[in-house]
Amino acid sequence: MAMADLLVIITDVLLRTVFVVYFPRSFLNITPVCSTNVVLAFAATLSSDWFTVAFTLDRFLAICYQNVKIKYCTERTATVIMGIVSVFSCLISVPWYFTMGPEYNMDNIPRGCVLKQAFLNLTSWASFELLTYSLIAWFPFFLLMLLNSLTARHILMSGRVRRGLRGRNTGDNDPEMENRRKSVVLLFCISGSFLLLWSTEVIYVLSERVFGIPYVKGSDFESVGFMLQVLSTCTNTVIYVLTQNKFREQMKSAVRCPIYLIVKLLKTRNAS
């Protein structure tokens, strides 16, 4: 997930936006290269979202089905799923290359990327765009909400059984129950953040395709939707990873290590 999120930042933010805006004469702004960046950006975004779904499914199986966990929640299974998701994301994103046309010509070289007018008018291409955004936003959100709801339900039910076995008076001071309550909050934070951050972009696409509102390139609504959409690709990874105790300990060690080396170097220099 972290690698897919990093690719989104590289392809969708740096190569597709920053370099094109601030370095308009660079080779990245040539239409074929720019169109390739569009394909890579969609592929990276799809991979990021579906890696999050796959990770959520893995957590669901590990928490709710202990027998399945031993058989399927393995490194080999994770590798196969990541490979399938990556290949599928690339294949479904390839048609976007043919929807892009040059924005202008400079020295007889086509530059920039804009949606072709034929793409905007064809019903088939509009359906493809809706399918793409369904795979990127709507289906992942539905699956995240479903899996996280089932996981939260299992945690709450097992918590009730645990309180019954331990007695009502000890439930309030039970560290395990506190961890389970935090897990429920975490799961719904993930689903809620995904919905909120993708809602602007989804509304923009629906207003354009379904309700026929004219396409306006570079509008504030589009810019805000793009910003929130890019932000959504990294929030789930941050939420999942930073809440893991082992990762926090490794992060602390990574921060302390250079400080320790600098202090040791200064002490050695002062002693000499």
Pairing outcome for strands 104-106 and 114-115: unpaired
Q: Give the pLDDT confidence score for residue 104 in this predicted structure.
A: 81
Measured CA to CA, the distance from residue 111 to residue 106 in angstroms comes to 7
**Phi/psi of residue 242, each to 5°?**
-70, -15
Measured CA to CA, the distance from residue 6 to residue 2 in angstroms comes to 6
Summarised one tens digit per residue, pLDDT across range 202-235 is 777 666 666 655 555 556 666 777 777 777 777 7
E strand intervals along the chain? 100-101, 104-106, 109-111, 114-115
Measured CA to CA, the distance from residue 44 to residue 52 in angstroms comes to 12
Q: Give the pLDDT confidence score for residue 251 in this predicted structure.
A: 67
Q: Give the pLDDT confidence score for residue 171 in this predicted structure.
A: 47
Residues of the chain whose pLDDT is less than 70?
162-184, 187, 191, 205-222, 236-237, 240-248, 251, 271-272
In single-letter form, the type of residue at position 213 comes to I
Parse the chain into domains and list their residue ranges.
2-244
**Sign of the CA dihedral 116, 118, 120, 122?**
negative
User: At the top level of CATH, which class does the domain 2-244 belong to?
Assistant: mainly alpha
C-alpha count within 13 angstroms, C-beta hemisphere, residue 7: 21
Q: Give the pLDDT confidence score for residue 87 in this predicted structure.
A: 93
Q: Is the pTM of this model over 0.85?
A: no
In order, the DSSP letters of 88-142 are HHHHHHGGGGGGEE-SEEETTEEES-EE-HHHHH-HHHHHHHHHHHIIIIIHHHH
